[in-house]
A and B are shown apart, each in its own frame.
Chain A
């Protein structure tokens, strides 16, 4: 328990560092967002309105420390300022839906890829030199060697355009209103198949190989040999005695991968016109929408930290040695 609290403390600290960087970085850059916005509206705003905007963004002439404290207060209240690109919606609201879509897209891609890749890795190591072990790793490495962008385009062209099996883009059909219904869920899943599938395709090989290699090492260990000799059923030897131990290194990579995919879902979202935050980020950069950029950066950071905390807890459950030595 103390270990969890300590990890939690660490993540709070990391979150604070991220918040602080988020505050200072834009202030080190030339120009300020309000001026950018002002330019965009080409004099249609009065100086008073400009001042109001500056305050909304936190760019006031107060001392830096006071600005910083105001900023922290706003962030804690969930107030990340006003978006320029989607003026006058608050950043929080703009990010809201996009973030949920990205989380859904990246989250399901990473979790599925991890689960499938790990299981295939177990199979490859267990049936060493069987067909899974012989063909799959090299095939996946081959596929993974293509640029993702190109692969995604090909998938879209073949399965979306030529065969028409899957929709060409967006998170759900235009003629359907989002609701908690079965029809909507099916529609969302159909839209997710290509983007999620292509991400899985390029990341699967890594999980497979990492699990396969650590599983092969574990299978050669004395405790697996003893488990076999004891006459345990093969499934129990493979899963409970070997796979569980072999999983440990992969789990460590899982937290990192989640952050990576969350940040890197940009390409996927562009190819499949998916309304996630990657798409938002492009809008933000185009419009010099610093507030939105900051907000996206912040939300990604927090999501990665949260995911890593979950992984820590999972690891703790998997490996009793961590419970001992660190508490």
Chain B
């Protein structure tokens, strides 16, 4: 898939030939620095990208159908009932002047006939499921804590029992303890309800603990993808290796902090060859000339690096 932002100074390619596949019931983590295109990809899959973003190519096959070729009405039916999303900021994703109950029930009403009574009962049930007392249906967003708001976001996303749930950094605004609670909550719900999850975060280490598979993004491209266990023990892309060292090691006795020097490139004017080469500690001449393809280096494990074997 390719996604461009059409700006005054020409198009910016935010997602550059990225290909992902996901099994039913799988938990896929997507990690990358801020600005690497994670949100763009998530909204592209849902086809809810606001202008000036344009999906310029590729396909998104969901349950046998290409989402990119569906018309608005088909899309409206499919969205939320089959795939849904939790937005990045819980603060802003809930309408401040509408009760959370109504924001859950109107989702159900939009996708099928349901009595007001039944919808309300179901909404209360959903709230209980994500750990909020069912009698808070008539509360407004400002009456809830940040963690509770994010749980409401999850309840809205699960209202129609989708088969795919996309979470775009749902816990960045929350503290570590609440973050952990919510992650475990999602894991538990996933086991119970069997939906697939795409979980987006900039915290790779955290992702490796919770996911089945993890994809690492760099500057609009996929750097590496593979089973979480393998990425944790033997990351092949220098960027993944750098990211893992950027966080205190959980197992080591000494806490080692190492962040990758330099900043991510501008997507308006990305470096030639491998986009990571200016920051790469092991770059060779080839890296600045030829852009590396994503190549398989193990079962289900691929990396886009000339040096990876």
Q: Which residues of A contact B89 (CB under 8 A)?
A: 222
| With A231-B76, A244-B97, A324-B143: A226-B110 Cβ-Cβ less than 8 Å | no
CB-CB < 8 A to A220: which residues of B? 50
Judged by a CB distance under 8 angstroms, whether B191 is at the interface is no
- 30 CB < 8 A contacts A-B: A220-B50, A221-B92, A222-B89, A222-B92, A222-B93, A223-B92, A223-B96, A226-B93, A226-B156, A227-B95, A228-B48, A229-B48, A230-B106, A231-B77, A231-B79, A231-B80, A231-B110, A231-B111, A236-B110, A241-B95, A245-B97, A319-B97, A320-B97, A320-B140, A321-B96, A321-B97, A321-B140, A321-B142, A324-B140, A324-B143
Do residues B80 and A230 form an inter-chain contact, with CB atoms below 8 A? Answer: yes
Residues in A whose Cβ lies below 8 Å from that of B291: none
Inter-chain contact B50/A223, CB cutoff 8 Å = no
Q: Mark B106-133, 1 if CB is under 8 A from A, else 0.
A: 1100110000000000000000000000
Write the B268-290 contact mask toward A (1 if CB under 8 angstroms, else 0).
00000000000000000000000
Q: Which residue of A lies closest to B95 (CB)?
A: A223
**Which residue of chain B lies nearest to A318 when distances are taken between CB atoms in the complex?**
B97
B140 contacts across to A, CB distance below 8 A: 320-321, 324
- The complex places the Cα of A222 from the Cα of B46 at a distance, in Å, of 14
A230 to B96, CA, bound (A): 17
Decide if A115 is an interface residue (CB 8 Å cutoff). no
Across the interface, name the chain A residue whose C-beta is closest to B99: A320
Bound Cα distance from A320 to B99, whole angstroms: 9
B85 at the interface (CB under 8 A from A): yes
CB nearest neighbor in B for A236: B106
Interface set, chain A 293-327, CB cutoff 8 A to B: 318-321, 324-325
In the assembly, what is the distance between CA of A245 and CA of B50, in Å? 20
Asked whether B110 lies within 8 Å of A225 as measured between CB atoms, the reply is: no
Contacting residues of chain B (136-170) with chain A, CB-CB under 8 angstroms? 140, 142-143, 156
CB of A193 closer than 8 Å to a CB of B:
no
Looking at the complex, which one of A222, A232, A319 makes contact with B110 (CB distance below 8 Å)? Answer: A232
**CB-CB nearest in chain B for A244:** B97
Interface residue B297 (Cβ < 8 Å from any Cβ of A): no
Interface of A is mostly: helix
What residues of chain B lie closer than 8 Å to A222, measured between beta carbons? Answer: 87-89, 92-93
Q: Would B142 and A324 count as touching, CB distance under 8 A?
A: yes
Please indicate the chain B residues that have their CB under 8 angstroms from the CB of A88 in the complex: none
The answer to whether B296 has its CB under 8 Å from any CB of chain A is no
How far is it, in angstroms, between the C-alpha of A39 and the C-alpha of B48 when the chains are bound? 78
Nearest-neighbour CB distance to chain A for B217, whole angstroms, equals 22
Cβ contacts under 8 Å, A221 to chain B: 92
- Contact A232–B95 (Cβ < 8 Å): no
Quick check: is A30 within 8 A (CB to CB) of the other chain?
no
Residues of A within 8 A of B85 (CB): 229
- Name 15 extra pairs, CB < 8 A, besides A230-B107, A318-B97, A321-B140: A222-B92, A223-B92, A223-B94, A226-B94, A226-B156, A230-B79, A230-B110, A231-B76, A231-B79, A231-B81, A232-B106, A236-B106, A245-B95, A245-B96, A324-B140
- Cross-chain contact B80 with A229 (CB below 8 angstroms): yes
- Indicate if A240 sits at the interface (CB-CB under 8 A): yes
Shortest Cβ gap from B198 to chain A (Å):
15
B residues less than 8 Å from A245 (CB atoms): 95-97
Q: Least Cβ distance of B158 to chain A in Å?
A: 12
Question: Once the chains are docked, how many angstroms separate the CA of A228 from the CA of B43?
Answer: 12
Q: Taking the nearest CB of chain B, how far is it from the CB of A104, in angstroms?
A: 32
* Cα-based distance from A240 to B110 in the complex (angstroms): 14
Residue of B nearest to A223 (CB): B95
Q: Which residues of A contact B88 (CB under 8 A)?
A: 222
Which of the residues B46, B48, B98, B110 comes within 8 Å of A233, measured between beta carbons? B110
Who on chain A is nearest to B49 by CB? A225
Of the candidates A228, A230, A244, the one whose C-beta lies within 8 Å of that of B156 is A230
7 shortest interchain CB distances as A-B pairs = A222-B92, A223-B95, A222-B93, A231-B76, A230-B107, A229-B48, A320-B140
User: What distance in Å separates the Cβ of B162 from its nearest Cβ neighbour in chain A?
Assistant: 11
- A128 to B: closest C-beta gap in Å: 9
Q: Who on chain A is nearest to B88 by CB?
A: A222
CB-CB under 8 A for A231 and B107, given A222-B87, A222-B89? yes
Residues of the A chain whose Cβ atoms lie less than 8 Å from the Cβ of B79: 229-231
- B135 → chain A, closest Cβ, in Å? 17
Q: Which residues of B contact A228 (CB under 8 A)?
A: 48
| Cα–Cα distance between A226 and B84 once the two chains are bound (Å) | 10
State the CA gap A229–B87 with chains docked (Å). Answer: 11
CB distance from B104 to the nearest CB of A (A): 10
- Kindly provide the distance from the CB of B93 to the nearest chain A CB, expressed in whole angstroms: 4
A223 to B95, CA, bound (A): 5
With both beta carbons as reference points, the residue of chain A lying nearest to B91 in the complex is identified as: A222
